Amino acid sequence: MTTPYDVDTLLTIATDLTASLSADDRRRRVVEAIRRALPCDAATLLRVDGDVLVPLAAHGLSPDVFGRTFPRRENPRLDVICRAVGPTIFPPESTLPDPFDGLVAGVPDLTHHVHSCLGCPLRVEGELIGVLAVDALERGAFDAIEPRYLEALAALAGAALRTSDLIEALEHSSRQRGLVAQDLVRDGLARRGGQLVGDGPAMRRLREEIRLVAGSDFPVLVSGETGVGKELVVRMLHAESRRADQPLVYVNCAALPSSVAESELFGHERGAFTGATQARPGKFQVADGASLFLDEIGELPEHVQPMLLRVLQEGEVQRVGADRPHHVDVRVLAATNRDLEREVRAGRFRADLLHRLDVGRVRVPPLRDHREDVPLLAGHFCDRARRRLGTGPVRIEPAAQAALAAASWPGNVRELENVVSRAVLRAAAGTEAGSTVVVRLRDLGDLAGDGAAASAEAPPRSVADAADEEATYRDALDAFARRLVRERVERAGGNWSAAARSLGMERGNLHRLAVRLGLKE
């Protein structure tokens, strides 16, 4: 039994190859076209990154899939697809685990198994660059698909993926080094869009700020609350700079005793002080030609600040006990969780030093300002915990995801990672080796006192209780949040401040959430 070619779908993908689209739009449109062309419930476009497959675009899957990666050695179906010459349709009785079991949207049973699966290796000029994975809940959904049609879809999808990689590489080239086309493509494939997890407006702005300042040699000040990921941002700035092939020298200013801070940063000569038995270069000379990361710059001792200012202004350092300065070529990347403007007003930080450091300011948003990325981050941390614990696939039930999204997260991404890791550890304790681990509301119980547990305790016991069967994933989460907020406000006698406290949220954040949910004007 065969099916005729869907020429319109093939033409759509082919036309998009020449259209002026962003890389993300191009990938999304490919997946949407595949979804229309095949009788499936989910379709995923993944890029090959060494021995790991990374999701780039998907339709019909839980959003936390974009926080996960799929190593070939841990996902035998994907490995079979990668090694195949052409499309592979797995028989229903196949015992190989499907990597997307429990991730298909709209399926309340997170241990449910996909019944039909096919995959196509995406090759360009013989090189494997990606995989197209298609799943259906109905048995035999792909039996009538003609192999030649799948080959045509795979060829066009591979060309679209390579085109998007070329565009990303060329854009990267124009901002940075102007490498030749072949090197740029390799670089674009290796970077796969950056390391920050999250795709909300706040994270998109952050990536744009990183791209804007990374290519210059100006000092950069990265600011943000504790746990937001400032060090990761600094490392991305260095990785995308012209000094990326040189080391990033790290100094924790908060750990520098005042008595040795000058020597640590600028070096000393032999005999400069008791115990100085030999000359020693400081961190600035070690980082000559490279980048220096001054973490917790707000903790730098006051007597050292004028010396740092001279390095930034003149590019000169003078070792303790030396008669003459040394010229250094160092790019300074600094990070702080302090309000340095307030520190200047209090007389604890020099205003001229702040102005020198603050040529490029990158503010890392707190997690409460990009809550839409919580599912992606949770999926990412589940993946990391799974590898550390050696468990089977880890899935998060919708009610637990809603509780995570409603938490205030004063410790930001670092706190979220700790909570998810502990929850996976609890959930895995009662699970047989190799089977699916499902993180449920009860596994998040240690959030009591942080606020998120309070959200998790309230009914409904699942998101499905708060939404009809036709609701989308986002609608279901909104319905859960709407019912939860309404109940807490009623319990607090209409006092929104008390309701916010019971939910572990700032009152302003609860107000904005209520407006979005239609509970307030």
**CATH label of the domain that carries residue 456:** 1.10.8.60
Q: What is the mean pLDDT of residues 140-158?
A: 79
Query: Tell me, what CATH number does 37's domain have?
Result: 3.30.450.40
| Same domain assignment for residues 332 and 373 | no
What are the structure tokens assigned to 212, written together?
């804007």
Q: What would the pLDDT profile of 27-37 be if each residue is shown by its tens digit?
A: 888 788 888 78
Which residues does 99 contact at the CB level (< 8 Å), separation at least 6? 70, 75, 77, 78, 133, 393
Please check whether residue 136 is in contact with residue 41, taking contact to mean a CB–CB distance below 8 angstroms: yes
Say what the pLDDT of residue 394 is: 92
- Please check the confidence at residue 156 and state whether its pLDDT lies above 70: yes
Which residues does 364 contact at the CB level (< 8 Å), separation at least 6? 206, 222, 223, 224, 228, 229, 230, 233
Query: Tell me, what CATH number does 252's domain have?
Result: 3.40.50.300
| Same domain assignment for residues 22 and 149 | yes
What are the structure tokens assigned to 332, written together?
């300074």
Residue 190 included in any domain:
no
| Same domain assignment for residues 272 and 341 | yes
- Please check the confidence at residue 481 and state whether its pLDDT lies above 80: no
Domain that holds residue 265: 201-365
Residue 355 included in any domain:
yes
Share of the chain above pLDDT 90, in %: 21
Residue 193 included in any domain:
no
| Same domain assignment for residues 389 and 354 | no
Query: SS3 for 20-69, per residue?
Result: CCCHHHHHHHHHHHHHHHCCCCEEEEEEEECCEEEEEEEECECHHHHHCC
- Report which DSSP code applies to 390: T
Q: Which residues pair with 90 in a beta bridge?
A: 117
| Same domain assignment for residues 497 and 386 | yes
Please check whether residue 170 is in contact with residue 159, taking contact to mean a CB–CB distance below 8 angstroms: no
Q: What would the pLDDT profile of 81-138 be if each residue is shown by its tens digit?
A: 999 888 888 988 888 989 998 898 888 877 778 888 988 888 877 888 888 888 988 8
Comparing 302 with 513, the larger pLDDT belongs to 302
Q: How confident is the model at residue 271 (pLDDT cuts 50, 70, 90)?
A: low
| Same domain assignment for residues 209 and 148 | no
pTM of the model: 0.68
Q: What would the pLDDT profile of 173-209 be if each residue is shown by its tens digit?
A: 444 433 322 232 233 323 333 468 888 889 999 999 9
Residue 182 included in any domain:
no
Name the domain boundary from 159, 175, 191. Answer: 175
Amino acid at 433: A
Say what the pLDDT of residue 395 is: 93
Name the domain boundary from 347, 365, 383. Answer: 365
Using CA atoms, how far apart are residues 521 and 518, in angstroms rounded to an integer? 7
| Same domain assignment for residues 291 and 318 | yes
Q: How confident is the model at residue 336 (pLDDT cuts 50, 70, 90)?
A: very high
Q: Give the pairing of strands 42-49 and 127-136.
A: antiparallel
Residue 2 included in any domain:
no
Which residues does 178 contact at the CB level (< 8 Å), separation at least 6? none
Say what the pLDDT of residue 11 is: 59
| Same domain assignment for residues 213 and 354 | yes
Residue 43 included in any domain:
yes
| Same domain assignment for residues 459 and 479 | yes
- Please check the confidence at residue 320 and state whether its pLDDT lies above 70: yes
> What's the distance, Cα to Cα, between the start and end of the chain in Å?
57
| Same domain assignment for residues 346 and 382 | no
| Same domain assignment for residues 391 and 425 | yes
Residue 186 included in any domain:
no
Task: Specify the number of domains making up the chain.
Answer: 3
Comparing 337 with 143, the larger pLDDT belongs to 337
Chain position carrying tokens 């980048």: 291
Q: Please tell me the least confidently modeled range out of 43-57, 189-203, 236-250.
A: 189-203
Residue 183 included in any domain:
no
| Same domain assignment for residues 43 and 151 | yes
Comparing 192 with 147, the larger pLDDT belongs to 147
- Please check the confidence at residue 471 and state whether its pLDDT lies above 60: no
